[in-house]
Amino acid sequence: MHMNNIILIGFMGCGKTTVGQQLARKLNFSFLDTDKYIEQKNGRTVSSIFEDEGEEYFRDLETETIKELIGKLSQTIVSVGGGLPIKAGNSEILKSFGTVIYLEATKDTLAMRLKNDKVRPLLAGNDGLRKMELLYDKRLPFYEAACDIKIITEGKNLTEVVNCICERV
């Protein structure tokens, strides 16, 4: 492994947190989730930040967060919010910070996992799944461009995804 942090990116529901925690255990690395970090630091949930301050404000918080963490972390698996790599400049920051891994999941799988989601403000409302599909198409090229390694998660269980990452980093 040539870098000592691993950054997991991908759409909401692709498994960044679950995979990240398992990978950290296997490699004996620390684990950090940017959403959780922001929630703890600000004393409020991502949903309430979106609701009270709007999406732009949250995007700025995300950018500040990775800038703040850069250089401070080592041997850490970092799971970043699904929208973070989309903002201009952020993908370069992520790459300078560690090996960036894109966990690719299909729209069908994500739709299944997210259909009853209650915590993601971007999917709120009756048309949540439709919003998800539109966002998925828009974001796909950004994830592809932002990553060093792409992992196809379809057809793999958690252990297989983790092993696949270990073989490729």
Report yes or no: 5 and 30 within 8 Å, Cβ to Cβ.
Answer: no
Q: How many CB atoms lie within 10 A of CB 36?
A: 14
- 65-94 positions binding ligand S3P, by CB under 6 A: 81-83
Alpha carbon distance 122, 1 (integer Å): 35
Answer for which of 122, 124, 158, 169 binds ligand S3P (CB under 6 A) is 122
3-state secondary structure of 36: helix
Q: Is 12 in the site for ligand S3P (CB under 6 A)?
A: yes
156 in a known ligand binding site: no
Residue 2 CB, shortest distance to ligand S3P, in Å, is 26
- Which region among 19-27, 88-96, 115-123, 159-167 touches ligand S3P (by CB under 6 A)? 115-123
Q: Is 124 left (phi over 0), alpha (psi -120 to 50) or beta?
A: beta
54 in a known ligand binding site: no
Q: How far apart are the first and last CA of the chain?
A: 6
Which DSSP helix (H) or strand (E) runs through 77? strand 76-79
State the number of binding residues for ligand S3P (CB under 6 A). Answer: 10
Residue 21 CB, shortest distance to ligand S3P, in Å, is 13
Which DSSP helix (H) or strand (E) runs through 30? strand 30-33
Q: Is 121 in the site for ligand S3P (CB under 6 A)?
A: yes
Binding site for ligand S3P (CB under 6 A): 12, 16, 35, 46, 81-83, 120-122
Annotated binding residues: 13-18, 35, 59, 82, 120, 139
Instruction: Tell me the binding residues for ATP.
Output: 13-18, 120
